[in-house]
Structure 1
Amino acid sequence: MKTHENHQQLELFKAFKPISLTFCQTKFTFIDLFAGIGGFRIPLEQLGGKCLGYSEIDTEAIKVYQKNFISYCNSEEINLGDLTRITNLPDKIDLLVGGVPCQPWSIAGKLKGFEDPRGKLWFDVIRLVKNHQPKAFIFENVKGLTEPRNKVSFESIINQLEASGYWVTYAILNSYDFGLPQDRDRVFIIGINKIIENYANFSFPKPLANTPKLYQIIPGISQQKLNKKKFDPDILFEGKIPVSRGRFQKIDELNDFFMFSDIRDGHTTIHSWDLIRTTEREKKICQIILRNRRKKKYGDKDGNPLTLEILRELITNLQENELEKLIKKKILKTVKDQGYDFVNSKISSGINGVSKIFLPHSDVLATLTATGTRDYIATQSFTCQDHKIYKENFIQEIYFKKKYKPLSSRDYAKLQGFPDWFILADNENTAKKQLGNAVSVPVVYHLTKSLLKTIL
């Protein structure tokens, strides 16, 4: 059950419709940097903010932003254009906000940091803070910016912001903790101008008491009441609990999602040999390859092709034609001069275009990204709690019967906390990309609400 506060908050995000700010009292002003499609703007206006100007260079994002906001704004609002060319900002700015491009600090962006032109945008952000001295700022980025590999760069950013006259703090906030069923960690950097009395009294918002399940947010999926059974972890993991299990994977319950991968294993990992007719011998061969391909003695990669000679050492009486049969079934492939490996050797690609299928009662979906995911949601409940037949029943009842659906752009919007009135890009893929890049609306709402208590 939702708490009364959470229910009110969800209704607020559904019902809020932008109106001309001339008809309501302005409590503070803000500049929207890296505006995207308006993830920061929605909650700031809900809290009484007035936008004095916005900066964005992506043409398609600007179209969506202007369609949703600019038609009702007064003519004084400025399209600031390219951040690197901004020399002057309007006077008396209370808040400077923005989701600074995150790709330079993520694995997907090849971790180039300040060597990436997008990484250098931090220098322009710092320049604007220093020259225009807003009362405070909120900048958002990927969690990776705070990790050890980026320590020097992150400390440089913080030090330069502090040198501009600000008390600076930061925290990693997860969208799940603020009413969204999405596992999305992001770092939020807060700076308060030292001219503000009691600037150090600021504190980050506490997680909400309850959060909705997927079936409460995503339309078109049903859910029966499910009492989850508790297990001895040794039963689920055969005595060895994986160290990689995340916050939303309990060690004493069955997973709420199924992963489709030939290079990982687990009680809810589905392999290609589970989905097509294979003999027990063929399954055994695949499992032996799976267990050995990541061993360092066979190579430095996180998964190495194995030669016929190595496989014959591992598998009793292995015949080459047995591997050929698995190649014909498109389970194995040969890698020139290296050996045999799985066809489905990328977790992100999944199997047959499916990476994960989440169950309706799941607390979260994986992080939405601009590059898209191959994640699906089961459209009906799956209540099996017998660990011995859990995976097989899912394959028969959900996967083979195609009782699952891809995420739509509107689903993306709901998982990011965008209200129902928000107009998305016409192109589905463009809308998903924009929403994957966006900030989660309720997180910014509660964070800004806490900040305003200090700066106003």
Structure 2
Amino acid sequence: MQQLNRFELKPLNLGPTGDSRPGGRFTFIDLFAGIGGFRIALERLGGQCLGYSEVDAEAIAVYQKNFISPIGSSEGNLGDVQTIGTLPESVDLIVGGVPCQPWSIAGKIKGFEDPRGQLWFDVIRIIRLNQPKAFIFENVKGLMEPRHRQSLDWIVRELSQLGYFVTFKLLNSYDFGLPQDRDRIFIVGIQTRIPSYSEFKFPEPLAEKPRLSDCIEGVERRVIQKRKFPPEELFGDRIPASRGRFQKPDELNDFFLFSDVRDGHTTIHSWDLLETSEREKEICLTLLRNRRKKIYGPKDGNPLSFEHLQGLISDLSREELEQLVDKRILRQADPGRYEFVNSKISAGINGVAKISLPHADGIGTLTATGMRDFIGTVSLNCQDPKTYKQEFIDKIYKPGRFKPISARDYGRLQGFPEEFQMARREAIARKQFGNAVSVPVVYHLGRSLLEVVFGVGIQSPVFWGDGISLSPVQPSL
């Protein structure tokens, strides 16, 4: 399987004047190592890992299978970061994806009140004790949100006081050769005693942009010329704010969302899939458009009573609502109140939450908690807003011309090499890839950082065709 933007990842040769380890290789410690996304990128740059820290047994098994030689290896797991003190030898770079759950919605955004959030205290302690030349730490973009900005400012201030120039930026995986809209904050620090520390700049986005079909096996590879529309033609008077870079207000979406509690020109409802009359569709849409209004209750989505609906729909009868209950579109939540059976966005409809088309620029952020997302195996060339959704239902959904995103697909969408040995269980492998760092982002960021730290140039990647090749590259010694 080849991926777009294949390039050879060139190593950094520090040369005889480098004050790193013998042979011109820089050294690094891999904290919160997971399955080794940081390590792949840094080893491709010519780095030597002196040790890693991970506590999850399943992640350790995958990490060791890919990186640790069973014979003659002196490298071991440093264990829980809470127990790491002064390292036995000096190290050039310390990196890690600090647990992100305390700053994300999935983790209930408890910040430093979450024990996992307090692991930042150990990160700062390890930096203070070992004084690496530089560091890179990755986290979710939620750490930059206003409610967590004091925590971020505290982290930056504490690291700066240890003698480092500290800066941070959101980097998106799509900008570095992956068809995935994945924003992550990267916090970078360089010792201020390094003369060129102030010259550091985050890497610029790559010119080449991938498509989803470049990373997914078994789908049609086809470029669709998309028409531009006045937003009012697609959304009427309710033009949504653009959510993510792959959803534009003047183009037909390249994905279809399956939900009864959301609406849009590519939202598929259960009443679109079942045989329903225009009157039944009107009733469902009325409930959809009013369920979030506060006059009907304090919840984000409220069941509506027959009396509520009767005031919104002329000549409504209870029998009409019961017919929708029989079709399993509606149900009675409380006595006399109606809501949709499919009331959770994440659950989708019939086990499908979203189907992206293979010609799409990319997919949304992969997650460790799992997704009910699928990929169409064929493209859809329709550019008529009036028939677009129905053509999708008739030509892709009903014939079953879509596939789940496999664990290997997850790996490709995160930039892991084909030869990477993932966990045997699909669900575990998807979780691990979804929780990993995007390899090309670390590669380009690491290259920019190391050029400043060691005052040398690194050869630019060599492009030669389709796909990303992360084949091992031996450093120049």
TM-score (normalised: structure 2): 0.90
**Structure 1 residue 375: Cα displacement:** 0.5
Summarize deviations over 1:356-403 as a string: whole Å, max 9, x none: 100011111111111100000000111111111000000000000000
Equivalent in the alignment of 1:233: 231
Q: Which of 147, 159, 162 is the aligned partner of 1:161?
A: 159
Instruction: State the shift of 1:26 in Å.
Output: 4.4
Conserved in 2, the CA contact under 8 Å of 1:140 and 1:189?
yes
What letter matches 1:76 in structure 2?
Answer: S
Instruction: Quote the residue 1:48 is aligned against.
Output: 46
- The C-alpha deviation readout for 1:109-145, integer Å capped at 9, x for no partner, is 0111111111110000000011111000000000001
The residue number in structure 1 matching 2:180 is 182
Go from structure 1 to structure 2 and tell me whether the alpha carbon gap of 1:127 and 1:73 turns closer, same or farther (over 3 Å shift).
Answer: farther
**Correspondence for 2:207:** 209
Segment of structure 1 superposing worse, 436-445 or 342-351:
342-351
2:255 is matched with which residue? Answer: 257
Q: 1:338 to 1:45 in 2, by over 3 A?
A: farther
Which is further off, 24-33 or 110-119? Answer: 24-33
Cα shift readout 1:295-341 (whole Å, capped 9, x = no counterpart): 12222322111111111111111111111111111111111257211
Which 4+ residue blocks in structure 1 deviate beyond 3 angstroms? Answer: none
Aligned to 2:8: 12
Q: What is the distance in 2 between the residues matched to 1:426 and 1:155?
A: 41
Equivalent residues in 2 for 1:31-430 (5 A)? 31-71=29-69, 75-337=73-335, 339-430=337-428
218-227 vs 42-51, which moves further: 218-227
Query: How big is each residue's C-alpha offset from its partner over 1:231-259, in whole Å with a ceiling of 9 and x where there is no partner?
Result: 12111111331125332212221000000
Distance (whole Å) between structure 2 residues aligned to residue 158 and residue 76 of structure 1: 34
| Comparing 164-173 and 334-343, the one that deviates more | 334-343
Q: What's the offset of the Cα at 1:25?
A: 4.2
The answer (yes or no) to whether the contact 1:25–1:48 under 8 Å persists in 2 is no
Q: Which amino acid aligns with 1:333?
A: R
Q: Residue 374 of structure 2 aligns to which amino acid in structure 1?
A: Y
CA contact (8 A) 1:416 1:440 kept: yes
CA distance in 1, matches of 2:249, 2:257: 17
Q: Which amino acid aligns with 2:280?
A: E
Secondary structure of 1:164's partner? coil
Determine the C-alpha separation between the residues in 1 that align with 2:39 and 2:198: 25
Question: Structure 1, unaligned stretches of length 5 or more?
Answer: 17-23
2: CA distance, partners of 1:73 / 1:377: 42
Separation (CA, whole Å) in 2 of partners of 1:316 and 1:12: 66
Q: AA paired with 1:10?
A: R
Please give the alpha-carbon distance, in whole angstroms, between the structure 1 residues aligned to 2:106 and 2:247: 24
Q: Secondary structure at the match of 1:200?
A: helix
Opposite residue 142 of structure 1, the aligned amino acid is V
2:135 aligned counterpart, secondary structure: strand
Distance in structure 2 (CA, Å) of the matches to 1:57 and 1:26: 31
AA of the residue aligned to 1:285: I
Q: CA deviation at 1:269?
A: 0.4
Q: Distance in 2 between matches of 1:223 and 1:135?
A: 45
CA contact (8 A) 2:200 2:452 kept: yes
Secondary structure of 1:290's aligned partner: helix
Q: In 1, Cα distance between the equivalents of 2:236 and 2:260?
A: 19
Higher relative contact order (CA 8 A, sep 6+): 2
CA contact (8 A) 1:305 1:338 kept: no
Distance 1:77 1:157, change over 3 A: same
1:224 positional shift: 3.1
**Contact 2:26 2:92 (C-alpha < 8 Å) held by counterparts:** yes
Cα shift at 1:161: 0.8
Deviates more, 1:50-59 or 1:90-99: 90-99
Residues in 2 aligned to 1:414 and 1:153: alpha-carbon distance in whole angstroms: 33
CA drift of 1:166 comes to 0.9
Deviations 1:45-72 (A, max 9, x none): 0001000000000001000000000017
Pick the aligned partner of 2:431 from 419, 429, 433: 433
CA distance in 2, matches of 1:347, 1:359: 19
Kindly indicate whether the alpha-carbon contact (under 8 Å) linking 1:267 and 1:391 is maintained by their aligned counterparts in 2. yes
Query: For the Cα contact (< 8 Å) 1:178–1:443, is it kept in 2?
Result: yes
**CA positional deviation for 1:11:** 3.9
Question: Which amino acid is the alignment partner of residue 162 of structure 1?
Answer: S
What TM-score, normalized to structure 1? 0.94
Paired with 2:154 and 2:274, the residues of 1 have a C-alpha distance of 53
- Alignment correspondent of 2:453: 455
Distance in 1 (CA, whole Å) between partners of 2:307 and 2:71 is 71
Deviations 1:266-320 (A, max 9, x none): 1100000000001111000000111111112222322111111111111111111
Amino acid at match of 2:356: F
Corresponding residue for residue 20 of structure 1: none
Decide which moves more: 369-378 or 71-80: 71-80
Identify unmatched segments of 5+ residues in structure 2. 12-21, 455-477
Q: Which amino acid aligns with 2:190?
A: I
The alpha carbon displacement at 1:105 in A equals 0.6
Conserved? CA contact 1:177–1:208, under 8 Å: yes
**2:239–2:249 contact (8 Å) kept in structure 1:** yes
Opposite residue 108 of structure 1, the aligned amino acid is: A
Provide the C-alpha distance between the structure 1 equivalents of 2:179 and 2:24, rounded to a whole number of angstroms.
32
